[in-house]
Structure formats: C-alpha cells, structure tokens
Amino acid sequence: MLKKASGKWQEVLLNGKTERISEFRLLKRKQENGHYLAVIFENESYLIIDPQGKTVEFVTAVNAYSTSIATSTMWQEASINAEGIDDELIDKLLAKWAQQAPTTHLVDCWVGLPEQRFLTYKKWRTTSGYLCGTYAAAVLLAYYQDYGMPNLIPSDIRRKDSRDAKELIQKLRKTIQPLGLPTVPIQVSTGISAFFRTQQQPIYARSTVVGSWQRATKRIREGKPVMIGILRLLGSTYGNHWVTAYAYYESASGERYYKVHDNWGNTNKVIPASWGNGTVSLP
C-alpha cells in the first residue's frame, strides 16, 4: 500500500493507482477536538485519515486541496508547529492506515469531487416536464468548463464560473430534447455530441445502457462527474430521472451510494447506487 524512501513516505496505492505524495497537513474537524491527517498528492487531490488510521475521504479532483479546505464547512487546518506534527506522527498514522486499508479499493469512505464545487449550479432546476436530461447535461458540461476545459463552451453561451445556465440549457435542449420527451442514454449522449458539433468541437459523449456502477466509479476516480439515469422500477423516489453524480461510497458490507446534483435544488443528495441504470459521460 505504501512506499518509503529515505525515511519519508513517497507514494500510496489507491484503487490500483500509485499516487505520489507532495505534502502532509494536519486538520481538525470543526467543533471537534480530534486531529486528522491530510495526505496531499502531486496533482492536489488528497486523502484524509482519522486518528485511528481510517480513511475518511478521498478527493480525486485535481487542484482541489487548497480551495476545498479553504471553503469547507467541515475542515480547518491546524497549525503544524503548534500541534508538533513530525515524521513520527506521520509514520504512525500512515502505518495504521496501511494495516486497515484494502488492497483493491477504498471502502467505508466517500471517493469523489468536492461537493462545494457544485454550489454554482444549485439553482439549475428542472422547470417542467421531462427536461432532467438537459439540465443534468448542463451541469456536466459546466463542470468540465469550470475545472479543466475553460473553452469547452463558447462565452456567448456560458462564461466560466457563471451561475447563469439559461442559454446553455436552451442550446442543449435543442439537440437533446427538441420535443421535450423523456430520454434514454443514447439520446442524451447523441444530443451532447450534436451540441459540440454545432460549436465545431470534435468531442463525443459516451453512454452505457445497463447498470451504472462500473462506469460511474471509473469516471469519478478520474476526477470527473458523470450523468446517471435512475429508474422508478429500481426504487427511485424521483421516478425516472437524470442526475449528475460526483462521488460514491461503498461500505465493507457492500452497500453502495452516490452523491449527486439532482437538478431539483439539491447539490449533495445521497442516493442508493441500485437506482442507477445507464450513464452518460465525457472523455
């Protein structure tokens, strides 16, 4: 799980991928006395370990640590000097973690993107009918524009970091749901690709039609959100609906959940993964 060089921890194996460690920070959970260790990787994704060596959270997004902790309602940095953090403490916490962490994939913790990033899209709510596919697609594209591909959407349609989605939703509706009818994954992915063609962009959305877990968790581990279709027949309390997932949780006993923007006004809704059937994602 862990590798050392010259007495320092250098690498960690997470979900089958080697992450190189950049630095460590000591955190406190607000309104608690316990201390946690943030393991920050070279791309500024990060892992949080509790005092017992258990994984609390793995944030897969690049360039995430500094902005996420600064705006977090849960975490705050503790003074390293005041708390006396040193190599011995780091070794102790990481050794505890290595003893408990599975060798294949993380369990009993959230893995994904910072939920505060989706507050920009909080008011992007499906207004009527069956337009959830269009709205979920708008969230997906806007996230890519805001966090990695600033030129993905022309500025006359949506400016980076804008909370205004009116023009983007209108454009996407024309290619995804011109008749305003319910959609299946292939219609949504084809509609997104058609939108990009109108902008002379060679970008193609991809869809899957059965299940959701493998595709969704793969994308989220890569630091990317993914659209998930959820079905009434599978227990969805939304009925048949599209959401944008950005984090997942799997317990040691096999329970699975997603954290989603539900385009009903909730940016951090937790839903059972068993509701999912079909995905739409970008490269």
Helix (H, G, I), strand (E, B) or coil at 12: strand
User: Where do the CATH 3.90.70.30 domains begin and end in the chain?
Assistant: 115-281
**How far is it, in rounded angstroms, from Cα 11 to Cα 269?**
33
Please enumerate in sequence order all residues whose Cβ is within 8 A of that of 140, keeping only pairs 6 or more positions apart, or say none.
192, 225, 226, 227, 244, 280, 281, 282
Lowest average pLDDT, out of 3-12, 108-117, 197-206, goes to: 3-12
Decide the pairing of beta strands 35-41 and 46-49: antiparallel
**pLDDT of 71 higher than 90:** no
**How far is it, in rounded angstroms, from Cα 196 to Cα 58?**
32
Confidence of residue 191 (pLDDT cuts 50, 70, 90): very high
**pLDDT of 7 higher than 60:** no
Residue 138: the pLDDT is: 98
Instruction: Report in angstroms the alpha-carbon separations of 40 from 26, 69, 86, 140, 192.
Output: 11, 12, 16, 26, 34
Q: Which residue type occupies 110?
A: W
Average pLDDT over every residue of 218-238: 97
How much of the chain exceeds pLDDT 90, in percent? 66
**CATH fit for domain 115-281, picks 3.90.70.30, 1.20.1440.120, 3.50.50.60, 3.40.50.720:** 3.90.70.30
Report pLDDT digits (tens) over 269-283.
Answer: 999 999 999 999 999
**pLDDT of 121 higher than 70:** yes
Please enumerate in sequence order all residues whose Cβ is within 8 A of that of 72, keeping only pairs 6 or more positions apart, or say none.
116
pTM for the structure as a whole: 0.91
How much of the chain exceeds pLDDT 70, in percent? 92
Average pLDDT over every residue of 96-107: 76
Q: If we measure between CA atoms, which residue out of 147, 143, 148, 187 comes closest to residue 168?
A: 143
**How far is it, in rounded angstroms, from Cα 25 to Cα 57?**
14
Residue 211: the pLDDT is: 87
